[in-house]
Amino acid sequence: MASKFWPKGGLPGILHHYTETLTTFEFTSNIRQPHSVLFVGGLGDGLATTSYMVDVVRALQPTQWSLFSLNLSSSYGQWGLGHLDRDTDEIAACIRYILDYKSAKYDNSKIILMGHSTGSQAVLHYLHRPNPHISSPVFDPYLQHVTRPALDGAIMQAPVSDRQAILQLLKEGFGDKSASDMQAVYDQIEALVKDAARTHTLFDTLLPLELTSQIYPGAPISCRRWMSLASPRSPQAPSEDDLFSSDLSDEQLSETFGMIKSQGLLKSKLVVLYSGADQSVPGHVDKEGLLRRWKNAADHGGKHHIWDDEHSGVIPGASHALSNDDQVEPRRNLVKRVLGYVHRLEHS
């Protein structure tokens, strides 16, 4: 079925190979566009699958910025086999390609990394982890870490907690499944994961689709990635993917948001756009309060100025991906913030 947001006939651009097997599509017109925004979607997303991208593309058309969408090896239904180190290594390869491509044509090209949902986890992972990554995962023996280029800007949209979203399903049910049905499914998955965790060779085996598809429809998920997303030892010991839960301590936030300054991979400020009516966020979460805690961690209590106060904030009425029919005004709000940010970076 054709998208109700993307225009019939599509939008013009250029398809680039940033590795032999991975591609990025640049939405661009014939005007001079020396600067770039690289957009990374969430779980299940791929090339240009986040609907509000069309609003951003159109808003950027008369500017000096073009928007890139990319494929990762974890795109579409493969996210359950992936991990953030590989994602951010591939993002770094794409950024290096874009910078080389643009700098051959223009002087002083700038680049912004923008993530939606789990794409926001990739943004924060990119900014706060050692550069290059130092992991040597047994399950990914051919992974070659790369040095990540510094970013001129970074945007996180809908940075939500997968763990808290899963726990919400256990309280409210999902589809035609009751809360008790979902709890039973979760308990079966947890039992399988605990058995697999006893040996490294089994820990990266796939969970039964008949169970995981009741929580994450249609995607194969390894025991390892499930543990990272569900993070059962949180909030005391959060797993890799558990970056945005509201119950994480200030000390834990200091090890993620608080590391952005010292890693030196962000040349300007961080924009965080939280959806005011995000379906993935439990009702008890104080969204404004959570943003204040993230800002305090990033800015080290006011000692630094990493957080962008002007453009960050909760977007009133915005759903998770701003894809519902009632999202016209929230999408305008999002685009206005993004445009304001890119224009300021352009002249900085």
Show the 3-state SS of the chain: CCCCCCCCCCCCEEEEECCCCCEEEEECCCCCCCEEEEEECCCCCCCCCCCCHHHHHHHHCCCCEEEEEECCCCCHHHHHHCCHHHHHHHHHHHHHHHHHHHHCCCCCCCEEEEEECHHHHHHHHHHHCCCCCCCCCCCCCCCCCCCCCCECEEEEECCCCHHHHHHHHHHHCECCECHHHHHHHHHHHHHHHHHHCCCHHHHCCECCHHHHCCCCCCCCCEHHHHHHHHCCCCCCCCCCCCCCCCCCCHHHHHCCHHHHHHHCCECCCEEEEEECCCCCCCCCCCHHHHHHHHHHHHCCCCCCCCECCCCCEEECCCCCCCCCCCCHHHHHHHHHHHHHHHHHHHCC
pLDDT score, position 133 = 97
Domain co-membership, 100 together with 62: yes
Domain co-membership, 338 together with 254: yes
* Residue pointed to by tokens 């500017």: 63
Confidence of residue 69 (pLDDT cuts 50, 70, 90): very high
Domain co-membership, 102 together with 188: no
Residues above pLDDT 90, as percent of the chain: 88
CATH code assigned at 81: 3.40.50.1820
In a domain? residue 294: yes
Q: At CA 117, angle to CA 114 and CA 118, rounded to 5?
A: 90
pLDDT score, position 175 = 87
Domain co-membership, 177 together with 313: no
pLDDT score, position 31 = 80
Residues above pLDDT 70, as percent of the chain: 98
Domain co-membership, 174 together with 142: no
Domain co-membership, 249 together with 115: yes
In a domain? residue 206: yes
Confidence of residue 147 (pLDDT cuts 50, 70, 90): very high
In a domain? residue 137: yes
Kindly report the average pLDDT of the chain as a whole number: 95
Structural domains counted in the chain: 2
In a domain? residue 144: yes
Domain co-membership, 94 together with 156: yes
In a domain? residue 235: no
Domain co-membership, 189 together with 142: no
In a domain? residue 4: no
In a domain? residue 288: yes
Domain co-membership, 102 together with 194: no
Mean pLDDT, rounded, for 118-129: 98
pLDDT in tens, 43-66: 999 999 999 999 999 999 999 999
> Is residue 190 over pLDDT 50?
yes
pLDDT score, position 1 = 47
Q: Are 176 and 292 in contact (CB under 8 A)?
A: no
In a domain? residue 91: yes
Domain termination residue (choose one: 176, 195, 230): 230
pLDDT score, position 7 = 84
pTM of the model: 0.96
Domain co-membership, 204 together with 269: no
Domain co-membership, 125 together with 199: no
Domain termination residue (choose one: 202, 230, 258): 230
Of the two residues 196 and 241, the one the predictor is more confident about is 241
Domain co-membership, 200 together with 258: no
- The residue segments making up the domain with residue 292 are 13-161+245-346
> Is residue 293 over pLDDT 80?
yes
pLDDT score, position 29 = 80
The mean-pLDDT minimum among 95-104, 118-127, 193-202, 216-225 falls in 193-202
pLDDT score, position 4 = 73
